[in-house]
Amino acid sequence: MHIDKKSSKFTPLFNNRHIQTILGLIATGPKPVKSYKHKRILIKIPEGKLALDCSFQKEKKAPTLLIIHGLTGSSNSAYVERMSRHGYSDGFNIIRMNMRGCGNTINLTPSIYNAGQSSDLQATISYLIKNKHEKIAIISYSLGGNLALKWAGEYKTPKQVSSLTAISPVIDLEKAGNASELPENWLYKLKILTSLKSLIKKKNLHLPKLYDLTLLSDISSVKDFDTIYQTKKTGYKSIEEYYSRASAINYLKNISLRTLILTSKDDPLVPISSFYNKDLKNNKNITLTITNHGGHVGFLGKSKEERYWSDIQTLNFIKKKL
């Protein structure tokens, strides 16, 4: 592991981690250029279909950013939109992947998304390669970061994929779940559980009786939700098995792809202790940037030039690896 001390010198717009987190979730960034438009493409997976929201450059050989949202997010999440606008303005094709059930795709698969569905990312990458995308860089956020890092440790990296960036990635599902239970994180927990319960209700409209709605009242934590709805419907024997098999932390040693992990010491949802890991430390393909402030998927800089600091760091890293 390489620790990027220079990049970790981040001057935040706000030191408060909750302000950073909340503003980071709603700030959409610069206005898009006139040619920035997107169309939805559906690709097949064994269990149904996935939706990709795509914005293509006129230049056919333009490099491609494959962007993966986080928990309760979608291709329309503000941080995804912000990164997309920056990347498109820099000459990249943009592919925004929706995880199962997200981005108005509730009817495309029988199951909802979870942290371990790296095969969906593999299917997306295979589709892009088949359609002549020769230079692909992966950008992932939060739970999407777990998905991407797990994929990188599981699958052989195609030559067309040049780099992976994971911003505020969840890499230890159990630790992240415990963090959401802290009293100061009540607002995040409320948002997460409201979103997840809503997803189950919507899924039930399309596939009645797939999920037992009477169990929703028993859910008061993310771990409760995972125990009741994730383990029983996705082939895991227990919550312990799900957290072990789906957590990216157990795949870090196998990553051969050039990877940037960007995280903050004050992230309220991803404990910094997750990154004090020997497999991460011993993997020379991974660059770890840790800032003192930035919250969760925040990283709003004080100066106008570095207002969207994580976007700048990500694009700089990607351009060096193309």
CA angle 149, 99, 256 (to 5 degrees): 15
CA-closest candidate to residue 164, choices 147, 180, 177: 147
Model pLDDT for residues 161-213, shown as the tens digit of each residue:
999 999 999 999 999 999 999 999 999 999 999 999 999 999 999 888 888 89
What is the radius of gyration, based on Cα positions, of the chain? Answer: 18
Per DSSP, the residues of 186-241 read HHHHHHHHHHHHHHHHHHHHHSTTSS-GGGGGG--SHHHHIIIIITTTTT-SSHHH
pTM over 0.85: yes
Intervals of the chain under pLDDT 50: none
Model pLDDT for residues 240-253, shown as the tens digit of each residue:
999 999 999 999 99
CA-closest candidate to residue 21, choices 310, 305, 225: 310
> What residue ranges define each of the domains in the chain, with the CATH number in brackets?
2-172+247-321 (3.40.50.1820)
Angle, helices 78-89 vs 309-321, to 10°: value is: 50
